[in-house]
Structure 1
Amino acid sequence: MAQPVTRRGWSAPEPDPGLPDNALPESAAWVAAPPRIAASVALRRALAARGIDAATLQGVVVIGVPGADWVEPVCEAWPEVTGGPGHRRPEGEADALLAGPGHWMVLTGDPPLSRHQHERILARLAQGRSILAVSQAPERSLPPDLLRAADLRLQLLPLDPEGLGEVAAAITGGSPAALPPAELCALISPRSLGLARRLGQSADDLLQRAARIAAGGLPPSSGPAASLDHLPGMPEAVAWGRDLARDLAAYAAGALSWRDVDRGCLLAGPPGTGKTSFARALAATCGVPLIAASYALWQSCGDGHLGTLLRAMRASFDEARKAAPCILFIDELDSFPDRSADTRHRDWWTSVVGGLLEQLDGLEGREGVVVLGATNHPGMIDPAILRAGRLDRSIAIPLPDQAALAAILRVHLGDDLAGEGLARAALRARGATGADCAKWVRGARRRARGGGRAMRPEDLMAEIQGSAGTRPAEARWIPAVHEAGHALLQALERPGTLQYVSIREDARSGGRTVVDVPDEEASEAWVGLHLRRLLAGRAAEQEVLGQVTGGAGGPAGSDLARATRLAANAETALGLSDRPLLWRGFWDGQEVAALMMAQPDIAQRVETRLEAAYGEARAVLRRHRAELDAVVAALLEREVLEGAEVEAILRWGPRR
């Protein structure tokens, strides 16, 4: 065999050209090398960024890792990084604990440590041994005492292009000519690199294979979201799903009691953000069956009478109990309304919701069945469904940001546009959903097929732009003025909080301005800021156009509705009125309109607040009219502007 090629302390056996095609290398070390090398690179880079000399480390070191498949490689790479001896797994020792003959004792939080193991940890510390603890979720998986005793907390990040270049060079002995785009790097895990390794391959081939595997190199029938590794844009949900996968595996192996497993979770987010895709990917990652159900499905069974519906509901839960461990997915959970609301057919809904509650935690139980609910309107669900022991965890799935959109597009594109950067397309797509991305990629492929050629970046851009470019000039002009008003006022009054502003038309709106709203205590200044921001679109129309349109009004989510609701709650619930000690309720939606009609004195105070904020917004925009016109022009030219671009217009002035 050829001698190993060494790069900065990481070594991998060079493949022997004399090996026949069906022969394996001498040991499993060749197979394990890519994940371990990736972990070594990530560890060294993280320590170097903190200015820490690995050779001097001792005491308790806690390392958080990006995903579950980083844990074992990091443990294996630690001796190389610190210069210590290797580790062995003692005979009869639990999987959660690795102990070696050297100075370090290595442990993970998978599965959770027993009380006996906690005591052993304390004993090792007392003996002067050092401890390395590695976990995807240290706060949830590792002993609190260990976290409090940590001498160093380190969080590893996914490798960036430069780091992946180092990994590829260390594995193959050659330097890559090209690196994966930045949006793909976060998806490439140690497992992806291990699966991509081939005998005699180049560094470029390794990275191309790893990128394809990470971004959706799956069997065609599996679809792009066949596992949680292929769901960018929902980090909280994916992190919970990976924790659940680990817990279900431990439960199935008898190592974890069902009482320690999450019983259910509610996914809440706008349509098209991937709630159903998450359910499929979660089941695939957990390796358990997925059973789909919904109120509509149950109600459509048989004659649709109440008894038939309840029997269908029970049948779904019985099927899940037989398949346990499994995931029962209930879509459109807001179909089960709050029983306390004044709704028609209250007796019907009381029985239906009661039947669901009985299945969720009745006497029969549902051991091994994790219930996953999905909704676009979490506020409409009966609160009893969300109580402890039922669907007691709620995770919001927001619209994806620019980085997530680029990653989602890459997942759906597969091999198309390989090597092309997607930052520009993702910027134009701001405000879109994962479903929109899938639609655009299908359209771009259709354009390419129609031209008898491979897909081009302009095919994708044309699909994303859609009909926006063909809208009449006036139809684009008014939204540009309106959204420019929102964006400019936010950038002026709270620099750094404007995410982006867009006049790209979609099914939900003709434009949007998205801001970061930090958690702050409600005050007069806070209320005034948000009222001015909400009314700035209408104020811009009046300043620029000399008249206003109905763009600020409309349904409960419109600018005027939200501003009225905020002003009303400032008067009745937040203690900011001239009668601060009298609480009259926190108002939402249609209740505000009824309040305004029933109590004219409150309506008058609300209108006074709104008029004052509107006048202030107009004054601000009038003083910055040149910048307002510049933002309008930029929106008409590019459709989407990042917050930094709007702030640059403020800082440097309009382009001459």
Structure 2
Amino acid sequence: DLLDQIEQATEFGPVLPPCPPVGPAPATVWRPKAATLLAVVRLAASFGSATALATELGMNGALTLLATGSAALDQTVRKVLEQIVAEPSLWPAGLPVPDLLYAVDAVKTGSPDRHRTLGAFSEKMRDALEIGTPVVLITPVAGTAPRALRDLNPKVVALKPLDHEQLSVLLDLAYPGQGAADALATLPTDARVSRLDPDRATLALRATDTETAVTAIAEALCPAPVEGAGWAAFPMPDTVRAPLEQMIFDLHAWQDGRISWSDVARGPLLVGPPGSGKTQVARLIGQEAGIAVVAGSVAQWSSESARSSDMIKAMRSAFATAAEQAPALLFLDEIDAFGDRNRKADHNSAYTDFIVTALIDQLDGYHGHEGVIVMAATNHLEKLDRAITRAGRFDRILRLPHPDHTLLPQALRWHLGPDLADTDLTGVAQAALGMSGADIAAAVRAARGRARQAQRALELADLTDA
């Protein structure tokens, strides 16, 4: 109903007298943006009718945290809502029009009166609270909204994720009369359509027909399987493998509906020296569990700006992306780069305090978000703020050392792949004692280079020399 009402309310009537006809008028082709279609079908699926939407968002004093599930969709959802509340045929007369705000803009940073209950908020947000105007706070994920907003206990409304039915409606709107349902029948059954974000949808809907668009959607949502050795072949001690395998088992059980999300083991904190394979472990967990992997780090988030506010904005975006791609693993690499608020004060102390507090806020707000596991890695556990490592933020601290004499043959086999398949690697493994996984990978590359230079197959002597 809401979808039909939006379509009817946005038809443009004549604004000028018609010109005399000079021939058959060309057919008008409506080409809405993919993000607009995503926003409209998900709003329609979530509220059902304009009356239900107005009742949910427009009552006096209503405070709603509207989670779009995608940072790339926030702006479009706000624009669509602005059109709805301004249209008399959609918004009931006499019902107050809510203020539509981005959650991050409703809070001031660095306010001197943040100790006051309302001191953390922007002037517009504070005015709305004081006079009882309904407020809709738009955010990608409820857990990424600023803590000051979450402390107000707003009603959280999460837009329904895109499903096959919504996708069929979306394609019917994008390609009227082209049989979207028949085209969608070719979409693989394991395609997670909820992962169709605005960018992927935009590229797919550049197609001129539904069949080509569905093919593009399938390619975006069902990447080719990764070749090469997998989780079972990766060398790691049982003290690391066992808890990670439990987490993978839980993820499969949750996806099959056998356990609830609250029973899924949380992500660990991996500790190990450089080159021990911590990042590779995260990728392999994603492959084995059949989930997306979203990676981030302080270096990545601060690469475009040294300002703490920009870094935190990039961090929130990574958390939101993981929610959008759920089920997903959010991997925080080199987490020690956040720093420790308890170290000796220096000129960076204020920056460290700000970003560490922001990370803890994200971790706590994200706790329990269905479909997303947060996992981190560090080379220097002693450099982490103790509040980050306390129980409840990461389930376990797992230590991943360099391979010992029992794991070195397996580490060599991992990097050799099909080369030297029938060769006993015990002797060369003894020579490699003390090397990291990265060192072994470099040695294998050097050995292969030597064999290529000699224009022959790789031999054990090449590897021994390397």
TM-score by structure 2 length? 0.50
Question: Which structure features the higher share of helix residues?
Answer: 1
Q: Which is greater in Rg?
A: 1
Q: Which has the higher contact order (CA 8 A, sep 6+)?
A: 2
